[in-house]
Structure 1
């Protein structure tokens, strides 16, 4: 009699371990990034608002602005701005120091600009009487030679204008923090008479509104 072959039982595959579903809480959303833009003061408000259909807050930071924003202008006489390249010499405003140090073909530094507090007659530009701008003096002191060393425009911006305006922003911390708050809530547009934010770009004046923007974004240009 034939014996049927024994059937070999194959072991059952082990059951997969039970998986448990754990609920994970959604990570908190990152804070709204600051949205800051610069526009020329003479740009019509309607045109600015069309650029930002989602809405924007417009703040004039020029010397013609309403208070308290006028205090952000480099023309504002906060007082006590020491000339970075001449210890002990102080001016009433950032602009007064900057304009006073200018040297022209026919005119040297002008200390009178240091004492102006009414925001007028601060500018010193090229003219037939003054001649061309040669650069910025290191000090207001009488030169020791007929050809005293001068700073070129980029160097003067880094050694004089940038450190002085950083001091000014530190003095108006309440206004700066309010701008920061506005930029977190929506687009903030700062008005200035210029929009150039590149220190090395000599084709246009440096915009202090652009420096405010850089300050708020923690990328203020390096000073020397």
Structure 2
């Protein structure tokens, strides 16, 4: 089984919750290259920019950030060639309200957040998982390991539901979907969660956490009186 946990959680707490699991940090700050290359910030190079034939970028995040359009500025060509894994974020604080993502380098069409996620981010990240040999080899190794071991991916984002636009998607969650054969398929129609569905999902997650804490407490009490 594959689980996703926030990298900011104390490692001791994660180890306590998943005592027999392999814990793998797959963010850009991971110490091991085989884990770091799964980050959307990693500069693999030659990644096709969606809706832009003949144009390529160094990393997934560079494409996502580069195609953003704000009230005060348009797309950022420098983002497509950034190889440093830093300075990629283009924020509301700096550029003002976002207008959307441009549908390719030479388009005037702007995509809303959900459509941009489905037509730009997810296909681009999947391209890396499919086509970068080093990445694909690592993912297949993890998939084999996950057949009989628990694995915990560490990521700064933990939203594993691509239809939930209330928070950024976890790329670790996308790796999990890819391994489980549940990655969103191109050509399929998906709808974003409604506000009500998002609220229900958050409540379900909250209740699941409460139940996990309760089970943990009960197990400690049982161990005490064994």
Compute the TM-score of the two structures, normalised by the length of structure 1: 0.78
Q: Which runs of 5+ in 2 are unaligned?
A: 188-226
* Counterpart for residue 46 of structure 2: 80
- Whether the aligned pair in 2 keeps the contact of 1:162 and 1:223 (CA below 8 Å) is no
What are the superposed Cα offsets for residues 6-60 of structure 1, whole Å, 9 maximum, x if unpaired?
Answer: xxxxxxxxxxxxxxxxxxxxxxxxxxxxx0000001111111122224x111000
* Counterpart for residue 95 of structure 1: 61
Match of 1:206 among 158, 165, 169: 169
1:168 correspondence with 2:128: yes
**SS of 2:151's equivalent?**
strand
Match of 2:10 among 44, 50, 59: 44
**SS of 1:185's equivalent?**
coil
1:62 correspondence with 2:27: yes
- Whether the aligned pair in 2 keeps the contact of 1:158 and 1:222 (CA below 8 Å) is no
What are the superposed Cα offsets for residues 78-127 of structure 1, whole Å, 9 maximum, x if unpaired?
Answer: 11111111111210111101100000111100010000111111111102
Q: CA RMSD in A?
A: 1.3
Q: 2 CA distance for matches of 1:139 and 1:78?
A: 20
1:223 correspondence with 2:186: yes
Match of 2:110 among 129, 150, 155: 150
Q: 1:131 Cα deviation (Å)?
A: 0.8
Compute the TM-score of the two structures, normalised by the length of structure 2: 0.77
- Whether the aligned pair in 1 keeps the contact of 2:51 and 2:105 (CA below 8 Å) is no
1:196 correspondence with 2:159: yes
* Counterpart for residue 103 of structure 2: 138
**SS of 1:184's equivalent?**
coil
Q: Which runs of 5+ in 1 are unaligned?
A: 1-34
1:116 correspondence with 2:79: no
CA radius of gyration, larger in: 1
**What stretches of structure 1 move > 2 A for 4+ residues in a row?**
none
Structure with the higher fraction of residues in helix conformation:
2
Q: 2 CA distance for matches of 1:221 and 1:40?
A: 23
Q: 2 CA distance for matches of 1:151 and 1:191?
A: 30
